[in-house]
A and B are shown apart, each in its own frame.
Chain A
Amino acid sequence: MGQTILASFRWLGFGFLDPLVKLFQGIEPKKNGALFLKKAIIPILSIAIFLGVANFFSSYLYNIERERKIEKTRETQGDEAALAMQECIDSGDISCKPNSLPSPADVWRATQTLIADHRMISTDKAEFKTRTAAVNAQRHAQGLSSIRYTGRPSFVDQIFTSLKTVFAGFLLAAFLAIPAGIVLGLSETLRTALNWIIQIFKPVSPVVWLLLVSMVVKTILASADMDKSFVISFISVGLCSMWATLVNTSVGVSSVDKDYLNVSKVLRLGVVSNVFKVILPSSVPLIFTGLRITLSVAWMVLIAIELLAQSPGLGSFVWEEFQNGANDSNAKIIVAMFVIGGIGFALDRLMMLVQKAVSYESKA
């Protein structure tokens, strides 16, 4: 039992928590306690230092903004107004709060606001559902589409929308890049003939992809009744991020161990079994390395694309908050930044686990 927990923690990549787990299980408490302190102190210290620096820097910027604001009031409205402004700022009244980099405390408050906001919207939604349940059942019986909740999405909803878009884009990338990579890997001629496409399109910025995709989608889906901005953004994400998988797959397929190919020749395997039983399994590790890069690139460009495509999600959340300019908007942007980073990290870990599971190499 204890061993399973340890093993699964290690498998998940939390090997550094070993001493803590052992501590809870009561194995060698002295030694593991010391080990845990040693391993935990540095991360905790680094977080504390980070928060300290952030706090110092934000209060430094805040003071500059404060002085500037008071000075400006003095210039335009005279000494009395400046004094009033100074009092107003120092009293913590949000109406005259200078707009600058939020402090860690501001970010924490914004996080709580966002969570509260999500709770509120969820209850609102649930109420809406119960209220419309009868009507919707009626409409359903008549063959009409049901009434949908059209209120503002909460922050958590935005996260899920973004995840949906990134997975759609990722799947598109995988479906395009893996077969294309296999074909390119198998044929030296095609590889040299089409190399220019990869070399030219790989470095193209997500913004340009978005414009290109919207040019096409605008025409094709002109009359279709569907969410165009979602289609545009997921296709752009896919096209931006597929190149790593394409290149890795073709490298994997074209560089299969010569020994395996010799065995395949001696056994006179046919083309199909050669590809599916020898070449593909042996390039699986490289293909998954490519997919892992693709997913992290997809997540990175997604935010930029959403921001521009006006498609709902974290990117548009950030953009709307920036445009909004409310007194806690900046703090909300920082919250979004950490959420984006955290999700990116989690996605990468997830892909790493999948990669480990499918890899035939006997790595520890």
Chain B
Amino acid sequence: MEVLTEEKIMLECRDIKKAYPTPKGDFVVLENFQLQAKESEFVSIIGHSGCGKSTLLTMIAGLNDITAGAITVANYPIQGAGPDRAVVFQSPSLFPWMTSLENVLIGVKQVFPHATTNQRLEICKYYLSKVGLADSFYKKAKDLSQGMKQRVGIARAFALKPKVLLLDEPFGMLDSMTRIELQDVLIDVWSKEKITAIMVTHDVDEAIFLSDRVIMMTSGPYAKVGEVAHIKLERPRNRKTVVEHPDFYKYRQQLLTFLDH
């Protein structure tokens, strides 16, 4: 296994512990959790429901406190939530009273405070076009379909130019056809930006298709890293060639075997 040098590490979680106090003592969700993600690496975290993978992601995002341990982004400890760790939420969480353009723009304004209005609009329109919404700039978010909302969610996250992209079961609420479409959109945009990405999912095929590395978590409480699969399929990936690749089934077998017990 390749030794990761300090400067190549974008995200590091060291000895993470998360415990919720209960009357009968602490309920420990995660303990001794370690994670390192290199620059431009796509890491998926897979595990059973309730194993604490979403908790982990919200902790990295800064939306949830950690009980012990440290999280650093580019060697700096994180402080609260921030646009350097953009999140694609499971429910798209767009502001329904805004248009898709405004939804992206409100973030871009925060990240590029010195840009002109036109430059900001250019950025927003670029990413919205990238996710296939070139003709829906001015549609109200409430009028978009679930799949289109998540496209906006993806565009909003990329437009922030984050150091780390966090995806919290981003396709969990979509039907399987839309899910496949959006996986293609995501991989397409990601392969151009090469942002370090951490994705939580419980879809095995999705994890293999998108990731460089799949981390399998043991079931909680006291969840930790169980196994790691390095997905060495060639990039850029194409759904057809990936599913025809013999290694795909090897990885699939490995993941399913782990999840089976």
Contacts and interface: CB of A to CB of B under 8 A. Distances in A.
B40 to A, nearest CB: 21
B86 interface: yes
Contacts of A277: 95, 106
A263 B61 CA distance: 11
Nearest to B58: A262
A281 interface: yes
A267 B159 CA distance: 11
Contact of B82 (A257, A259, A266): A266
Given A265-B81, A267-B83, A269-B110, A360 B89 contact: no
B110 A268 contact: yes
B93 A263 contact: yes
Nearest to A362: B142
Contacts of A281: 95, 97-98
A199 B136 CA distance: 47
A129 to B, nearest CB: 49
Given A262-B93, A361-B96, A267 B110 contact: yes
A148 B98 CA distance: 52
Given A277-B106, A362-B142, A266 B87 contact: yes
Interface in B59-84: 61-63, 80-83
Contact of B96 (A262, A268, A273, A360): A360
Contacts of A361: 96, 142
Contacts of B61: 262, 266
Nearest to B141: A360
A259 B110 contact: no
Interface residues of A, number: 19
A259 B81 CA distance: 13
Given A269-B110, A281-B97, A262 B143 contact: no
A282 B63 contact: no
Contacts of B98: 281
A205 B160 CA distance: 54
A177 B177 CA distance: 48
Main secondary structure of the interface of A (DSSP, over half): helix
A260 interface: yes
A137 B1 CA distance: 100
A262 B95 contact: no
A278 interface: yes
A262 B142 contact: no
Contact of B97 (A265, A267, A273, A360): A360
B107 interface: yes
Contact of B143 (A259, A260, A362): A362
Nearest to A280: B97
Interface centre among B80, B95, B140 (most CB of A within 10 A): B95
Contacts of A263: 87, 89, 93, 95
B91 interface: yes
Nearest to A277: B106
Contacts of B89: 259, 262-263
A287 to B, nearest CB: 13
Interface string A262-303: 110111110001000110011010000000000000000000
A262 B81 contact: yes
A235 B18 CA distance: 55
Contacts of A259: 89, 91, 93
Nearest to A269: B110
B85 interface: yes
Contacts of A269: 106, 110
Contacts of B81: 262, 265-266, 268
Given A268-B110, A269-B106, A362-B142, A262 B63 contact: yes
A26 B97 CA distance: 40
Contacts of B80: 265
Contacts of B96: 360-362
A268 B83 contact: yes
A258 to B, nearest CB: 9
Contacts of A362: 96, 142-143
Contacts of B86: 266
Interface in B86-112: 86-87, 89, 91, 93, 95-98, 106-107, 110
Contact of B62 (A265, A267, A278, A360): A265
Contacts of B62: 265-266
A169 B97 CA distance: 30
Contact of B87 (A262, A268, A273): A262
Interface in A281-337: 281-282, 284
A216 to B, nearest CB: 40
Interface string A238-272: 00000000000000000001011011011111000
A254 to B, nearest CB: 18
A188 B97 CA distance: 26
Contacts of A267: 83, 106-107, 110, 160
A282 B97 contact: yes
Contacts of A273: 106
19 contacts: A259-B89, A259-B91, A262-B61, A262-B93, A263-B89, A263-B95, A265-B63, A266-B62, A266-B83, A266-B85, A266-B86, A267-B107, A267-B160, A277-B95, A281-B97, A360-B97, A360-B140, A361-B142, A362-B143
5 A-B pairs with least C-beta separation: A259-B93, A360-B97, A265-B81, A281-B97, A362-B142
Interface of B: 61-63, 80-83, 85-87, 89, 91, 93, 95-98, 106-107, 110, 140, 142-143, 160
